[in-house]
Amino acid sequence: MAGYLSETDFVMVEEGFSTRDLLEELTLGASQATAGDVAAFFVADLGAVVRKHFCFLKCLPRVRPFYMVKCNSSPGVLKVLAELGLGFSCANKAEMELVQRIGVPASKIVYANPCKQIAQIKYAAKHGVRLLSFDNEAELAKVVKSHPSAKMVLCIATDESHSLSPLSFKFGASLKSCRHLLENAKRSHVEVVGVSFHIGSGCPDLHAYTQSIADARLVFEMGAELGHGMHILDLGGGFPGLEGAKVRFEEIASVINSALDLYFPEGCGVDILARLGRYYVTSAFTLAVSIIAKKEVLLDQPGREEENGSTPKTIVYHLGEGVYGIFNSVLFDNMCPTPILQKKSSAEQPLYSSSLWGPVADGRDRVAEGLWLPQLHVGDWLVFENMGAYTVGMASPLGGTQTCRVTYAMSRVAWEALRGQLLPAEQEEDAEGMCKPLSCGWEITDTLCVGPVFTPASIITYQHSPPSITCSSVHHLSAPPECELGSRNFTFFTARSSLLRTKKRYVSENTWDILTEGRYLWRDDTEIQLY
């Protein structure tokens, strides 16, 4: 291990103990020990972050992940991702300082903000951060004066008409302006080394990825013609972090892989990276927030009465956090947070029309409405899942709360997998792409590494002659059970992702195979020797 994360940074959770169990302990402690001073806190399952990383490696084997620090800059997240070998995409000086403080080298940092302050460009130059982005002449001029040795990545605009959070109106150069910017950079003796784009968050249009990669290919050709050493393609971010997203990550990855094979095939000399935020942290964080006030409001609707003749009412609950803090996604992403009751209610308990509001005296500080909840009380806790993106560090100063405490947890099995950079074995039903987060009670019996999930076009299946096969991509499949066949012990693999590995010998295949310990592959009763 690189030493970024240690066992003192998180709670080691043993088998059979879940995140909910930890939440219950912490809410009880918060209520008793602090007399209500704690209004909200997070529990972060770092094992879920590890799992997402291995899923990424499987689905996009040619892409090097960089983490967008602005999405969630909590120390535990940064440390576990640094331990996994990720690079970091920083938007300002504070973020660069943060990741360098935990020991991340400058070579693993991208200053990916097309709108930079001169003082922060100078900071990047002083501290060895050389990879920067730009999308206009003014930005280029600042870099020429303040960081002339920088390696620049040209950010291009994309078609993000279907994205929930579009960016191209604010960032990204049009294709028409790219040649001019590249020429200007050449005249200014600034080296442009690649192209980046970002289609925005929550984009359901898969064609946008293909089109953006095709556009990047055009800009690569422009840069090469002008003498720039183009060798970096940045796919940006916007990848979903929820299992129930309209478009699954695996679907997006499949489209990206096809586009890369077409426009940037293996061996073309281009380093491909992506900058991910939500993908890694959304599902890893669970929020517990307390009810700090409540009141009943009569619904004055003429002609409407309850069955008992009383006037209908709704219960308004005020939480310790609102839309100007942790629940900002309600304003910016049109999210509808759904609470989970910390105290289980019985089926006999009546439900009441309810709404959740933040602590700010503002009519827009509405977290959720149209809910039917049992009678709750001041001091009760509500739980919200999938709260890892753009929440930590966002506690509302208007409400008088401080940054919420984060308790990090990881199962012992996940910790061992991280230490060995090994992927916990998946069940067969998971192998078709469901990348479930690691729960704190995650059970496993074996571990292995991860590699590609597709067969490069250059690899050929040989059936009846002994091939000499070389392959730079290694795929380790799901944990192989051993079976007895005759007098030999064999290892049984499911060749779902087309590459089988035995020591340093490789063969491509798409069906069930029996592989010996070192030298031979049997397929359809045909013996093939691997060199």
The pLDDT value recorded for residue 37 is: 73
- Hey, what are 225's tokens? 């013609």
CA distances from 123 to 21, 36, 75, 95, 191 (A): 45, 42, 22, 12, 19
User: Which ranges of 72-128 does DSSP label H, i.e. alpha helix?
Assistant: 75-83, 93-101, 118-126
Contacts of 271 (CB under 8 A, 6+ apart): 64, 194, 231, 232, 233
Element holding 281 (H helix, E strand): helix 278-281
pLDDT tens string 90-129: 999 999 999 999 999 999 999 999 899 999 999 999 999 9
pLDDT tens string 511-524: 333 333 333 333 33
CA distances from 514 to 20, 409, 508, 525 (A): 42, 39, 13, 10
Q: How far apart are CA 273 and CA 232, in angstroms?
A: 8
Contacts of 41 (CB under 8 A, 6+ apart): 26, 30, 287, 288, 404, 405, 406, 407
Q: Chain-centre distance of CA 409, in angstroms?
A: 18
CB 199 within 8 A of CB 163: yes
**Residue-wise DSSP of 428-473:** GGGTTT--PPPPTT---S-EE----SS--TT----SSS------S-
Buried b / exposed e over 363-379, threshold 16 CB at 10 Å, is: eebbbbeebebbebeee
The pLDDT value recorded for residue 489 is: 34
Contacts of 236 (CB under 8 A, 6+ apart): 196, 197, 198, 199, 274, 275
Q: How far apart are CA 436 and CA 36, in angstroms?
A: 34
pLDDT tens string 260-314: 999 999 999 999 999 999 999 999 999 999 999 999 988 765 555 555 556 678 9
The reported pTM is 0.76
Q: How far apart are CA 207 and CA 402, in angstroms?
A: 42
User: How many CB atoms lie under 10 A from the CB of residue 145?
Assistant: 11
The total number of residues shown for the chain amounts to 531
Ordered domains of the chain (ranges, CATH): 43-283 (3.20.20.10), 286-385 (2.40.37.10), 455-531 (no CATH)
The pLDDT value recorded for residue 448 is: 29
Low-confidence ranges of the chain (pLDDT < 70): 1, 31-36, 160-170, 300-311, 393-402, 422-531
- CA-based nearest residue to 263, from 207, 221, 206, 205: 221
Contacts of 442 (CB under 8 A, 6+ apart): 47, 411, 413, 414, 424
Contacts of 370 (CB under 8 A, 6+ apart): 353, 355
The pLDDT value recorded for residue 67 is: 98
The pLDDT value recorded for residue 69 is: 97
The pLDDT value recorded for residue 367 is: 95
Q: How far apart are CA 200 and CA 232, in angstroms?
A: 20
HEC string for 322-372: CCCCCCCHHHHCCCCCCCEECCCCCCCCCCEEEEEECCCCCCCCEEEEEEE
CA distances from 450 to 2, 162, 478, 485, 511 (A): 19, 33, 9, 28, 19
The pLDDT value recorded for residue 390 is: 92
Q: Which residue type occupies 334?
A: N
Q: Chain-centre distance of CA 14, in angstroms?
A: 25
